[in-house]
């Protein structure tokens, strides 16, 4: 038994511009169950800790997870998840916020209605640096509202932690190895999907801020693609190579996307491959 129906976990680092809006969007939630709010600040160097403390003084249900050193995004996530005491866990990154006061209620009801699901997610709106809605991201690639591991390997249709709610029991089952690599929402949700399908609520209830101060969201599209290409072999290994064919298809799509962004990419790639082949052949020259 868990003391709370839900834990809301805010992960934050140097989000002084956005944290108050994130917290307010939680306080506006309309639910019929008790929940706790935890703020996991990763030793911010700006006013983020002061903002968190000011809200805690006014709202005793808010708990601040102490951090004495910067852990990094993955280790901070791992540590803070162990502090949650709710049956379900919703994550909100400190530079995002929720745009529906019914998000938490709807997601809890959805998971209770479908007990075989490992987690669920909702649609998101993407905000640019001017706070304008740049595009919609609602998992339109989904053919239905239940997503398999294979589908998620082929496309990260979830796209953001702040849209997700998890079963605490599932998080406890996740292999510790996923916290030893750079784990953004994609790998985390892939690991969850091994324990049950992922449920989709199409309604847009989360605002995801790009070009903010998030470790991932603040990087360029080109850099994100390159990092994803580099980490795919590790993710494939963590999933015990059960989805290698799907990862190959995803790799191909990412390289094509990168070529559209950087027309010289394929030329550079061919040069690299030629050098590798030359070195290999030289090893066999007698």
User: Over the stretch 61-111, which tens digit does the pLDDT of each residue have?
Assistant: 899 998 889 999 999 999 999 999 999 999 999 999 999 999 999 999 999
- Running DSSP on this structure, what letter comes out for residue 66? P
Q: Which residues contact 159 (CB under 8 A, 6 or more apart)?
A: 124, 137, 139, 185, 208
Give the distance from CA 74 to its chain's centroid.
10
Query: pLDDT band at 272, cuts 50/70/90?
Result: low
Give the pLDDT confidence score for residue 268 in this predicted structure: 57
How would DSSP label each residue in 23-79?
Answer: HHHHHT---SS-EEEEEEE---SSSHHHHHHHHHHH-TTEEEEP-SS---HHHHHHH
Question: Using CA atoms, how far apart are residues 120 and 87, in angstroms rounded to an integer?
Answer: 14
Question: Using CA atoms, how far apart are residues 284 and 155, in angstroms rounded to an integer?
Answer: 40
Give the pLDDT confidence score for residue 174 in this predicted structure: 97
Give the pLDDT confidence score for residue 131 in this predicted structure: 72
Question: Using CA atoms, how far apart are residues 13 and 209, in angstroms rounded to an integer?
Answer: 14
What is the separation, in whole angstroms, between the first and last Cα of the chain? Answer: 69
Give the pLDDT confidence score for residue 216 in this predicted structure: 47
Share above pLDDT 90 across residues of the chain, in percent, rounded to a whole number = 70
Name the percent of the chain in helix, strand, coil, to the closest 5: 45, 20, 35
Question: Using CA atoms, how far apart are residues 156 and 165, in angstroms rounded to an integer?
Answer: 16
Output the CA angle 199-201-206, nearest 5 degrees: 115
- Running DSSP on this structure, what letter comes out for residue 205? E
Question: Using CA atoms, how far apart are residues 77 and 116, in angstroms rounded to an integer?
Answer: 25
CATH topology of domain 4-218: Spore Coat Polysaccharide Biosynthesis Protein SpsA; Chain A (3.90.550)
Give the distance from CA 229 to its chain's centroid.
17
Give the pLDDT confidence score for residue 130 in this predicted structure: 72
Q: Global pTM?
A: 0.86
- Using the predicted structure, report yes or no on whether residue 273 has a pLDDT greater than 70: no
Q: Give the model confidence (pLDDT) of 130-184 as tens digits.
A: 776 666 655 555 667 999 999 999 999 998 999 999 999 999 999 999 998 876 7
* Residue with the larger pLDDT of the pair 111 and 278: 111
* Residue with the larger pLDDT of the pair 133 and 285: 133
Range in 4-8, 130-134, 237-241, 277-281 with the lowest mean pLDDT? 277-281
Question: Using CA atoms, how far apart are residues 136 and 123, in angstroms rounded to an integer?
Answer: 8
């Amino acid at each position: 038994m868990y003391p709370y129906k839900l834990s809301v976990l805010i992960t934050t680092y140097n989000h002084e511009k956005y944290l108050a809006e994130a917290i307010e969007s939680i306080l506006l939630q309309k639910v019929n169950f008790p929940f706790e709010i935890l703020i996991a600040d990763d030793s911010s160097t700006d006013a983020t800790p002061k903002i968190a403390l000011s809200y805690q003084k006014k709202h005793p249900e808010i708990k601040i997870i102490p951090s004495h050193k910067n852990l990094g995004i993955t280790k901070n996530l791992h540590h803070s998840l162990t502090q949650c005491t709710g049956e379900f866990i919703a994550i909100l990154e400190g530079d995002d916020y929720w745009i529906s006061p019914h998000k938490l209620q709807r997601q809890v009801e959805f998971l209770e209605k479908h007990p075989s699901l490992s987690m669920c997610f909702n649609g998101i709106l993407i905000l640019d640096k001017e706070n304008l809605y740049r595009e919609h991201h609602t998992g339109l690639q989904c053919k239905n509202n239940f997503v398999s591991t294979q589908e998620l390997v082929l496309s990260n249709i979830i796209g953001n932690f702040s849209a997700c709610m998890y079963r605490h029991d599932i998080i406890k089952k996740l292999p510790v190895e996923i916290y030893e690599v750079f784990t953004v929402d994609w790998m985390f949700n892939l690991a969850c999907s091994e324990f049950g399908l992922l449920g989709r609520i199409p309604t847009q209830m989360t605002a995801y801020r790009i070009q903010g101060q998030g470790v991932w969201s603040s990087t360029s599209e080109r850099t994100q693609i390159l990092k994803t290409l580099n980490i795919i072999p590790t993710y494939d290994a963590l999933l015990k190579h059960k989805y290698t064919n799907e990862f190959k298809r995803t790799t191909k799509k990412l390289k094509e996307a990168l070529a559209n962004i950087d027309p010289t990419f394929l030329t550079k790639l061919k040069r690299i491959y030629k050098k590798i082949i030359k070195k290999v052949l030289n090893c066999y020259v007698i």
